[in-house]
Chain A
Amino acid sequence: MTSVQLAQASNAAVYASMLTLTLAMIFFAVSFAAGRRRPAAAAVSVSVESVESVGGTAVITRTAEAIDRSSDPGRRAANIGMSLTWLSFLTLLVGVILRGVWAGRVPWGNMYEFSITAALGILGVFLVMSIRRDLRWLGLFVVIPALLTLGLAVTVLYTEAAQLVPALKSYWLVIHVSAAIICAGAFTFAAATAALSLVRSRLERKAGTTEIGGWASRMPTSERLQVLTNRVVAFAFPLWTFAVVAGAIWAENAWGRYWGWDPKETWAFITWVIFAAYLHARSTAGWRGNRSSWIVIVGWVAFLINYFGVNIFVNSLHSYSGM
């Protein structure tokens, strides 16, 4: 392919991925709106009893699902949504790879490229997590941020592929940025489950029970949502620590100091401290539950501030937005 064809193919793949992702969003929304018929209550409570006393685990849904598999339109819509999400992921993967081929380097040279790769990270973390557990209920809340990221990328952030500025020419770019991008996906995932657990816990409090019907019935209980959030943060936090350390090694090599409180570094640190606080909150009386969910959301916001705010508005050594 010629360079122009490569560029067109990459852009076409990104747009195609946005299209399928929009469809996925619609199907997930339909599924959510359809609610879920309650399975026989007894089947659920038996397994719940067996695990919740030590903090609950992921074993409950399978039993519940076995019962209402056949006649649930919401479920069918969600299945279509999942397939479309896989399709978008693969299309986007092609788009990102073609972009890299076009530029002749890793496709992480400016904010457009960071953003399409971050969307890939968000979808990727979600899909990988969904292999081993049922996450159909989460689809809507992962597809929306991914779609927003892509939308911003193609409208506001778009830049033609170009060579890297010298400061980015380093294999640390590959190591540091790929870790950060996976974290982007995981933090987004965790923020989504944390937000849902807040919503759900409110409904549960109002209903006085964890067995609620209506549109929110499709989600797991707030407690299970918190366990899931916890698990994702436990995965993302060491990776984020690694990304920050890799960034420090790179900074040492490029600028002669491993830490200089540049705004980008500062916000990476703030994000890190907030998630460390979250990990502490899990084992601090009075901070488990909803408060710790809020901490995850705040941490995610700090991550976004670092990504968008510092890249675009602040005069930083790290301003590579290419805009």
Chain B
Amino acid sequence: MTEPLDSAVPAPDAGLPDEPTLPPLGSIGLLRWMWRQLTSMRTALVLLFLLAIASIPGSVLPQRGTNPLRVDQWLEQNPGIGPLLDRAGFFDVYASPWFAAVYLLLFISLIGCVLPRIRQHAKSMMAPPPPAPRRLTRLPVSQEFTSSVDGAALLATAQGYLRGRRWRVRLGESPVDGNTWIAAEKGYLRETGNLVFHLALLLVLLAVAVGGVMGWKGNVIVREGSGFSNTLTQYDAWGGGRFVNPNDLAPFSFTLDRFTVDFERSDAQRGAPRLFEADVTYRASPDAEPTTRTIEVNEPLDVAGAKVFLVGHGYAPRFVVRDSTGEVVFDDAVVFLPQDGNFTSTGVIKVPDASPSLGFNGLFLPTAARAGSGMGISVFPAADNPEVLLAAFRGDLGLDSGVPQSIYALDTSKMVKVGLNPLAPGDTWTLPNDSGSIEFTGYERWASFQIARDPGKELALLSALAAIVGLMLSLFVRRRRLWVKVMAASGGGTLVQVAGLAKTDSVDLPADVRALAVALGADVDDERSAP
């Protein structure tokens, strides 16, 4: 759009302000000047660069949105600069005010740029092609030949030819020399495509915003054999947009019947996951029929407007704790969180019902081996040789303090360590000092699910596709003009001039001019400048 056509021809649409100009005095003038600066191509360019640069820190530093634990670690390791960066939003870059400032300015600039262009384009679509310039042979591609056919007939042929190829055609007569001409133009879709593309980007942003305020997502860990129902309290973590009522979630539910995993056992990529499958039974609403399904990594469950994705898995070793009298005070499987690719997992067992209360820090090794230091490590992610290492504590678990506690951390500040012991399945460890015993009875698996609803995603997809189509039109369609002028040749017959002008890219133009000339009876070798 900023590329005006050759000066020989009046440009149908004025170029955008490109060159910097000095601000005029007066507040209205200044505002107008600022608006023009903001909507100039140069500003768009600078803002695009800024957007690229502003995106970088979020790929280097850990981000709260995706990895809050690593953010905390990073802050601990960098007490100096960490808090400063934190305050400046570097751990939540894509939600930070400065990132928003860049893309909002860009989109304001985009609107300011596109709206006037829509008006101009509509006008130029309505207007007939511009009249033939005086000296057609001066145009970059032109051809001249004489014909024995008379001028009017040639113009009629040209008109038929061009209309058949969907050029927009206009007939005219030069007021200066009285010669008649045809003007034709093609490729309006280029600008249309460009406008569609830019508008579609706005729609993508809108779709993201819709998802942001009306969508929600949560994570939940479900043990084999257990169930989940879609209420806020069941989630381990949940976040929703401003317009979501968390008490009003669609009341679907499911149970995890079976979870199957398989790992690579050959040497190449040993231990890499090969299969995750969660067999579930779900109900779309409390009174719906139960249905069974298998959820896999690329095959989420679509239910009641939400999607249930399988995102992770791990082990939940099962323990029975007895007090000194032999009475069972704890009998449950405990979710341990994997720490590495071989599923070395950590977890915590809290037994408030024992007296005094007991707590255990546990390490679960699915395929246990001894490292050189004697430390237990896991060497394979499947449970080929399971073992737990337990550190037992006795005392006050701190559960009554009123401060909410993580189920994955043990506060040992008011406890004393009782001992450390490895256990294989079936082993019982009798704690010293008559504190009771703990038995490692086996393990279950758990799967973690992300459950999400994003009402903006269809719009996002549609606008992204519109953007691609618009982009292709904008880059591949070539806007170009052709003119034919006929006049009496000095030696009798008709002198025919055919010429063309392309707006941005002249690849097709010589061929267009040549084909038109040939259609009018020119000898192909006669051309002046076609390749």
Asked if B56 is at the interface (CB within 8 A of a chain A CB), the reply is yes
Contact partners of B276 in chain A: CB under 8 A: 166
What per-residue 1/0 map shows which CB atoms of A99-125 lie under 8 Å from chain B?
Answer: 000000000001000000000000000
Q: How far is the CB of A120 from chain B (nearest CB, A)?
A: 22
Contact stretch, chosen from B120-128, B175-183, B459-467, B516-524: B459-467
Contact partners of A255 in chain B: CB under 8 A: 309, 311, 450
Beta-carbon contact of B48 and A266 below 8 Å: no
Q: With A50-B529, A59-B510, A252-B457 in contact, do A261 and B94 touch (Cβ < 8 Å)?
A: yes
Asked if A65 is at the interface (CB within 8 A of a chain B CB), the reply is no
Beta-carbon contact of A285 and B502 below 8 Å: no
Specify the chain B residue showing the minimal Cβ separation from A170.
B298
Q: With A161-B268, A162-B269, A166-B275 in contact, do A273 and B52 touch (Cβ < 8 Å)?
A: yes
Beta-carbon contact of B274 and A163 below 8 Å: yes
Beta-carbon contact of B274 and A166 below 8 Å: yes
Contact partners of A161 in chain B: CB under 8 A: 268
Contact partners of B460 in chain A: CB under 8 A: 248, 258
Whole-angstrom distance between the alpha carbons of A128 and B77 in the complex? 52
Contact of A54 among B19, B140, B296, B298 (CB under 8 A): B140
Report, as a range, how many residues of chain B touch the other chain. 35 or more
Contact of A238 among B2, B471, B505 (CB under 8 A): B471
Q: How far is the CB of B252 from chain A (nearest CB, A)?
A: 15
Counting chain B CB atoms within 10 Å of each CB, which of A169, A269, A283 scores highest? A283
Contact partners of A68 in chain B: CB under 8 A: none
Beta-carbon contact of A253 and B298 below 8 Å: yes
Specify the chain B residue showing the minimal Cβ separation from A241.
B468
Contact partners of A237 in chain B: CB under 8 A: 471, 475
Contact of B507 among A58, A283, A314 (CB under 8 A): A58
Q: With A237-B475, A245-B464, A260-B66 in contact, do A280 and B269 touch (Cβ < 8 Å)?
A: no
What per-residue 1/0 map shows which CB atoms of A210-249 lie under 8 Å from chain B?
Answer: 0000000000000000000000001001100110010011
Contact of A242 among B42, B468, B476 (CB under 8 A): B468
Contact of B18 among A51, A253, A284, A302 (CB under 8 A): A284
Asked if A276 is at the interface (CB within 8 A of a chain B CB), the reply is yes
Q: With A165-B273, A167-B297, A284-B18 in contact, do A259 and B44 touch (Cβ < 8 Å)?
A: no
Contact of B506 among A51, A63, A250, A259 (CB under 8 A): A51
Report, as a range, how many residues of chain A touch the other chain. 35 or more
Contact partners of A262 in chain B: CB under 8 A: 66
Beta-carbon contact of A245 and B465 below 8 Å: yes
What per-residue 1/0 map shows which CB atoms of A52-83 lie under 8 Å from chain B?
Answer: 01110111001100000000000000000000
Contact partners of A53 in chain B: CB under 8 A: 6, 140
Q: How far is the CB of B24 from chain A (nearest CB, A)?
A: 21
Contact stretch, chosen from B57-65, B285-293, B490-498: B57-65
Beta-carbon contact of A276 and B59 below 8 Å: no
Whole-angstrom distance between the alpha carbons of A264 and B529 in the complex? 49
Contact partners of A257 in chain B: CB under 8 A: 217, 452, 454
Asked if B266 is at the interface (CB within 8 A of a chain A CB), the reply is yes
Asked if B41 is at the interface (CB within 8 A of a chain A CB), the reply is yes
Q: How far is the CB of B162 from chain A (nearest CB, A)?
A: 21
Whole-angstrom distance between the alpha carbons of A310 and B60 in the complex? 10
Contact of A314 among B41, B59, B465, B505 (CB under 8 A): B59
Whole-angstrom distance between the alpha carbons of A250 and B269 in the complex? 24
Contact partners of A266 in chain B: CB under 8 A: 55-56, 58-59
What per-residue 1/0 map shows which CB atoms of A28-43 lie under 8 Å from chain B?
Answer: 0000000000000000
Specify the chain B residue showing the minimal Cβ separation from A279.
B475
Asked if A277 is at the interface (CB within 8 A of a chain B CB), the reply is yes
Q: How far is the CB of A211 from chain B (nearest CB, A)?
A: 20
Contact partners of A281 in chain B: CB under 8 A: 45
Whole-angstrom distance between the alpha carbons of A267 and B217 in the complex? 24
Contact partners of B274 in chain A: CB under 8 A: 163-166
Specify the chain A residue showing the minimal Cβ separation from B57.
A266
Asked if B1 is at the interface (CB within 8 A of a chain A CB), the reply is yes
Q: With A159-B268, A242-B468, A273-B51 in contact, do A254 and B531 touch (Cβ < 8 Å)?
A: no
Q: With A237-B475, A273-B55 in contact, do A253 and B45 touch (Cβ < 8 Å)?
A: no
Asked if A263 is at the interface (CB within 8 A of a chain B CB), the reply is yes
Asked if A287 is at the interface (CB within 8 A of a chain B CB), the reply is yes
Q: How far is the CB of A272 from chain B (nearest CB, A)?
A: 9
Beta-carbon contact of A166 and B297 below 8 Å: yes
Asked if B141 is at the interface (CB within 8 A of a chain A CB), the reply is yes
Whole-angstrom distance between the alpha carbons of A276 and B51 in the complex? 11
Whole-angstrom distance between the alpha carbons of A110 and B67 in the complex? 24
Asked if A322 is at the interface (CB within 8 A of a chain B CB), the reply is yes
Contact partners of A47 in chain B: CB under 8 A: 529, 531
Asked if B272 is at the interface (CB within 8 A of a chain A CB), the reply is yes
Q: With A162-B264, A238-B471, A241-B468 in contact, do A284 and B2 touch (Cβ < 8 Å)?
A: yes
Contact of B475 among A50, A234, A270, A287 (CB under 8 A): A234
Asked if B149 is at the interface (CB within 8 A of a chain A CB), the reply is no
Asked if B170 is at the interface (CB within 8 A of a chain A CB), the reply is no
Specify the chain B residue showing the minimal Cβ separation from A167.
B297
Whole-angstrom distance between the alpha carbons of A314 and B61 in the complex? 10
Q: How far is the CB of A16 from chain B (nearest CB, A)?
A: 23
Asked if A160 is at the interface (CB within 8 A of a chain B CB), the reply is yes
Asked if A9 is at the interface (CB within 8 A of a chain B CB), the reply is no
Beta-carbon contact of A259 and B208 below 8 Å: yes
Asked if A203 is at the interface (CB within 8 A of a chain B CB), the reply is no
Contact partners of B454 in chain A: CB under 8 A: 257-258
New contact pairs (4) apart from A54-B6, A110-B269, A253-B299, CB-CB < 8 Å: A50-B529, A254-B297, A261-B94, A322-B269
21 contacts between A and B (CB under 8 A): A51-B529, A53-B6, A54-B509, A162-B272, A165-B273, A169-B297, A169-B298, A238-B472, A241-B468, A245-B464, A248-B460, A250-B298, A253-B299, A256-B309, A256-B450, A256-B452, A257-B217, A258-B460, A270-B55, A280-B45, A284-B18
Chain B residues at the A interface, C-beta cutoff of 8 Å: 1-3, 6, 18-19, 41-42, 44-45, 48-49, 51-52, 55-56, 58-60, 63, 65-67, 70, 93-94, 140-141, 208, 217, 264, 266-269, 272-276, 296-300, 307, 309, 311, 450-452, 454, 457, 460-461, 464-465, 467-468, 471-472, 475-476, 501-502, 504-507, 509-510, 528-529, 531
List the 4 shortest-distance A-B pairs measured between CB atoms, nearest first: A160-B268, A59-B531, A50-B529, A277-B48
